[in-house]
């Protein structure tokens, strides 16, 4: 992270890239037992939350990530009743999940409660579903939670984590995926944010390898724009417990009821259309 002449800049030395936003002021900073959280007021993107110097969520563009990490996979499952979100402390993914009336329970497992409490203060629009009777906010270790989950109790797991370093590192490993397979019902799906197809393709291929080795029958990738993350192009990796085609529940009235800004039937289908170099890397 660099602060110079009222700009926030996140450089990524490994990829030789950087992203910047012009700032108004820093409105909050604290070190929790897990990470350093800062919140800035920007000139054009509203509020910006960073964790350990990396961009996490902004007022202006968060809908891209939250919609595409929830609606495509929910509409790819025939009947997603019980959902768990690992991470997702800003609550935006939880909000999108609970727009689906077929969801009966949605549990958010976030290790750092301060992420949620600060989101309630600075991103209240993301937290409007926190009081939904179907929602449970659990503050604790997602790896331990999944290990102790009742076998075949979940239809959908959404891993809405930070990058694979620090508290989130274990969420990208074979052992964690083994526990996820056990917790899912037959036909269950997992989706995990999997970084940039342009900059992090080796990580994506390794994730898919680990998922299959853990017992998932097959994996898929979807992709979407995400302006404040490295390269501006992001992805979600989907793992299916049982083989077969994904469901495609794209009823126009249902889609309209979501009130989405980016997601619709066309963007749903387009998200699964992969560039040639990505297909070759994943062997599909």
CB 187 within 8 A of CB 241: yes
Q: DSSP letters along 186-242, please? A: EEEEEEEE---TTT-HHHHHHHHHHHHHTT-SEEEEEEEE-TTSGGGEEEEEEEESS
Among residues 160, 163, 179, 251, the one annotated as catalytic is 160
Sign of torsion, CA 90 93 96 101? negative
CB 96 within 8 A of CB 71: yes
The CA distance from 47 to 201, in Å, is 30
What is the phi/psi pair of residue 166, to 5°?
60, -135
The CA distance from 28 to 49, in Å, is 9
CB atoms within 10 A of CB 131: 8
The CA distance from 160 to 68, in Å, is 11
Catalytic status, residue 160:
yes
Q: Which residues are catalytic?
A: 160
């Amino acid at each position: 992270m660099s602060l110079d002449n009222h700009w926030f800049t996140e450089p990524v030395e490994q990829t030789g890239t950087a992203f910047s936003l012009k700032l108004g002021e820093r409105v909050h900073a604290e070190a929790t037992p897990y990470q350093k959280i800062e919140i800035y007021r920007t000139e054009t993107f509203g509020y910006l939350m960073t964790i350990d110097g990396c961009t996490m969520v902004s007022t202006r563009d968060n809908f891209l990530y939250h919609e595409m990490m929830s609606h495509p996979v929910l509409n790819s499952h025939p009947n997603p009743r019980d959902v768990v979100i690992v991470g997702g402390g800003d609550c935006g993914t939880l909000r999108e999940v609970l727009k689906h009336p077929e969801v009966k329970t949605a549990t958010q497992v976030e290790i750092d409660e301060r992420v949620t409490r600060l989101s309630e203060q600075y991103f209240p629009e993301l937290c409007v579903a926190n009081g939904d009777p179907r929602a449970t906010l659990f503050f604790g270790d997602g790896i331990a939670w999944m290990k102790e989950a009742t076998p075949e109790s979940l239809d959908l797991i959404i891993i809405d984590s930070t990058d694979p370093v620090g508290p989130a590192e274990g969420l990208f490993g074979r052992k964690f995926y083994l526990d996820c397979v056990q917790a899912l019902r037959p036909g269950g799906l997992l989706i995990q944010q999997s970084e940039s197809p342009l900059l992090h393709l080796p990580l994506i291929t390794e994730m898919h390898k680990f998922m299959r080795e853990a017992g998932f029958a097959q994996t898929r990738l979807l992709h979407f724009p995400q302006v404040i993350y490295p390269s501006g192009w992001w992805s979600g990796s989907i793992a299916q417990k049982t083989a077969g085609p994904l469901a495609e529940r794209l009823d126009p009235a249902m889609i309209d009821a979501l009130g989405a800004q980016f997601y619709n039937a066309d963007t749903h289908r387009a998200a699964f259309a992969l560039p040639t170099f990505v297909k070759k890397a994943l062997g599909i």
